[in-house]
Amino acid sequence: MTRPATPTIHKPRTHWLPKLVLAPSFLVAMLFIYGLMIWNGYLSVSASRLLPNYEFVGLAQYELLFESERWMVALKNLWVFSALFIGFGMAIGLFLAILLDQKIRAEGFLRTVYLYPMAISFIVTGTAWKWILNPGLGIENLMQQWGFENFTFGWLVDPDYAIYCVVIAGVWQSAGFVMALFLAGLRGIDDSIIKAAQVDGATLPRIYWRIIVPSLRPVFFSTLMVLAHLAIKSFDLVMALTAGGPGYASDVPATFMYAMSFTRGQIGLGAASATVMLATVAAIVVPYLYSELRARR
């Protein structure tokens, strides 16, 4: 006796539904991110000034850009800020991570305190440190009220030291985030390595210096990429803290681009500076992404 054929159950074809739902967001992202990047790149080789002018002028805007004294000051400030911001941020973050890795009391409370600055925006950080470093309101005024009448701390209004005020505020905000990255890396190291080294007579500082810290190379690399990216995009922190002043002494490429494009009526020059910034970010991010993809393979 033959068995009746089992009816075929056709599942609804819904594999296209996720693509349909994501398509509008994907198209909008392509238009407003990559499309505007291409438009900005074309403006940088055009004769645009107060309004877009699509007359092609080649590299004239880039020549004018690198002849600008203000742009050279902005580049110098970027290198100073990036070096100190990354260096001190990583050093302080690593020190705090090693401190918390010792299973000290109130670790959860201290971790929260160190991480708290990262929970606020650069605008809030810049505004707070602008009050703290203001000679008439902050540290200088406080010390003089305590009786130290000859104490002065006028970095915020000194053209030679204003950029270092930006470094102080940036390191204060980023050190907790760096600490969290290094602490995660430290907690991933097997305790048996430390115990074996202690059995061989190695001291704890030597264990960290010779064994543990070198094993954190991937964390160092990732942290370096993140901090370098933040340093290049440090527009909001500089604007809130110094607004590029005194004069343009604390300008960085991001504030230069804003000033040229929106206050000086030099759209082509601002677009050229933005393109240089984009190329710098790509030079940092692309090798990182390539190394990550290569490691996964």
Res. 2: pLDDT tops 60: no
From 51-65, 183-197, 233-247, the region with the lowest mean pLDDT: 183-197
**148 is a domain residue:** yes
Residues 109, 111, 114: CA angle, nearest 5 degrees? 110
Res. 166: pLDDT tops 90: yes
Number of independent structural domains in the chain: 1
pLDDT of residue 4: 58
Question: 115, 109, 92, 224: which is closest to 180 by C-alpha?
Answer: 115
Res. 54: pLDDT tops 90: no
Q: How confident is the model at residue 19 (pLDDT cuts 50, 70, 90)?
A: confident
Q: How much is the average pLDDT of 78-90?
A: 93
pLDDT of residue 282: 82
Q: How much is the average pLDDT of 173-177?
A: 90
**38 is a domain residue:** yes
Q: How much is the average pLDDT of 87-94?
A: 92
**290 is a domain residue:** yes
Q: How confident is the model at residue 83 (pLDDT cuts 50, 70, 90)?
A: very high
**292 is a domain residue:** yes
pLDDT digits (tens, 9 = 90+) for 254-264: 899 988 888 88
Res. 18: pLDDT tops 70: yes
**6 is a domain residue:** no
**7 is a domain residue:** no
**12 is a domain residue:** no
Q: How much is the average pLDDT of 103-116?
A: 80
**2 is a domain residue:** no
Token digits for 177?
């985030």
pLDDT of residue 69: 92
Token digits for 228?
């370098």
**Range of 279's domain?**
23-296
Q: Give the domain CATH number at 82.
A: 1.10.3720.10
Distance CA 95, CA 83 (A): 18
Contact between residue 238 and residue 60 where contact means Cβ atoms under 8 Å apart: no
